[in-house]
């Protein structure tokens, strides 16, 4: 019955309000509160009871040394890929519970050939669970649900049980403050009364090795590691952004240096002293290797036009002199003559 109560507390089925119209007001209020409360985990098909976990033998014919889970929950759609549940009516001692958890550990460590011929943990041949990252691949979590009907006090049993099973659940502390639980069993404890009242979304689950109650998803997960991973990703993004900014700054400095060097090489018109435009600079470049620069390459566009006109006038004047004609402006000298001087 305690196992059934555990399933209901985790599942938290919602009543159909339409069918409760003839019930007393207090019943309707309780039903409405259940409807408005947090959802549970999985469906009735997500739970299996009395599941053998063979340390020897086979699934169908388990050998000695194995355990039998009171409940197995698989609800990946709700964030619980695989959860083993032990319900204790507070009759067992901490030592007896520790022995049961040792059998879990023996089962988790057992390997078997899968249908593809490859060896993997035996439990993975039956249940699909995402792989952890290298160095942090914990075993499936085990939830201990304590039903206070026996003579044992969970407040005394749980601390003793933590010490007896420390080698099974204790992870390796990292610099970020979180733990890596590679090949370790996340062990969580909760009271059935608390589970009934608050459900899996309530902060009533105590994971061995952690301080303070958590929700079920937090307890079976590793929020501190996820936070550390998020910080590490943000820091990596910041470093990448800083590196890209440094590359852009270096590229801008290089471009500015090259532009300054190019500007220092920019020709200056010998006529008016103005710097060449890019188009003029390109136009005066030699078109063949070893070709001599044109005389007009020393001038900007405007001065080149004047030089061409002056050259034509001097050429025309020379022809007139040959014929004995007077050349206008000969005494003063042309624009090109003054420029050459």
- pLDDT tens for 50-62 read 999 999 999 999 9
- Chain centre distance of CA 317: 85
C-beta separation of 34 from 15 below 8 A: yes
Q: Which segments of the chain have a pLDDT < 50?
A: 327, 329-333, 338, 341
β-strand partners of 87? 145
CB 232 within 8 A of CB 185: no
Q: Could you identify the residue written with the tokens 């026996």?
A: 150
* 32: number of Cβ within 10 Å: 13
Q: What is the pTM of this model?
A: 0.69
**Tokens at residue 327, please?**
């050349």
Edge-first strand order for the sheet with 142-146 is 47-53, 67-75, 80-88, 142-146, 187-191, 206-207
Q: Residue 312: what pLDDT?
A: 80
pLDDT per residue as tens digits for the range 6-30: 999 999 987 766 666 666 776 666 6
Which pLDDT score, from 0 to 100, does residue 337 have?
53
- Please give the mean pLDDT across all residues of the chain: 85
């Amino acid at each position: 019955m305690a196992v059934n109560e555990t399933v209901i507390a985790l599942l938290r089925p919602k009543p159909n309000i339409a069918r409760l119209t003839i019930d007393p007001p207090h019943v309707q209020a309780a039903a409405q509160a259940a409807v408005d409360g947090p959802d549970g985990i999985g469906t009735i098909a997500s739970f299996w009871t009395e599941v053998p976990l063979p340390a020897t033998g086979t699934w169908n014919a388990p050998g000695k040394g194995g355990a039998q889970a009171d409940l197995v929950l698989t609800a990946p759609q709700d964030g619980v890929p695989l959860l083993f549940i032990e319900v204790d009516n507070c009759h067992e001692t901490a030592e007896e519970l520790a022995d049961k958890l040792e059998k879990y550990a023996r089962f988790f460590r057992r390997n078997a050939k899968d249908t593809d011929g490859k060896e993997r943990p035996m439990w993975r041949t039956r249940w699909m669970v995402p792989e952890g990252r290298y160095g942090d691949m914990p075993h499936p979590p085990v939830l201990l649900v304590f039903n206070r009907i026996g003579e044992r006090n969970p407040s005394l049993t749980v601390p003793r049980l933590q010490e007896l099973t420390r080698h099974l659940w204790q992870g390796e502390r990292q610099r970020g403050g979180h733990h890596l639980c590679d090949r370790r069993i996340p062990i969580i404890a909760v009271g059935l009364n608390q589970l009934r009242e608050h459900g899996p979304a309530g902060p009533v689950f105590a994971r061995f090795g952690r301080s303070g109650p958590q929700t079920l998803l937090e307890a079976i997960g590793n929020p501190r590691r996820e936070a550390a991973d998020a910080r590490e990703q943000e820091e990596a993004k910041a470093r990448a952004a800083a590196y890209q900014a440094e590359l852009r700054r270096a590229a801008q400095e290089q471009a500015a240096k090259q532009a300054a060097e190019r500007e220092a090489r920019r020709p200056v018109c010998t006529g008016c002293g103005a710097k060449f435009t890019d188009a003029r600079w390109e136009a005066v470049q030699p078109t063949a290797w070893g070709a001599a620069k044109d005389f007009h390459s020393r001038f900007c566009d405007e001065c080149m036009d004047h030089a061409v006109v002056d050259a034509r006038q001097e050429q025309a004047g020379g022809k007139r002199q040959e014929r004995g004609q007077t050349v206008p402006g000969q005494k003063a000298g042309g624009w090109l003559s003054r420029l050459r001087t």
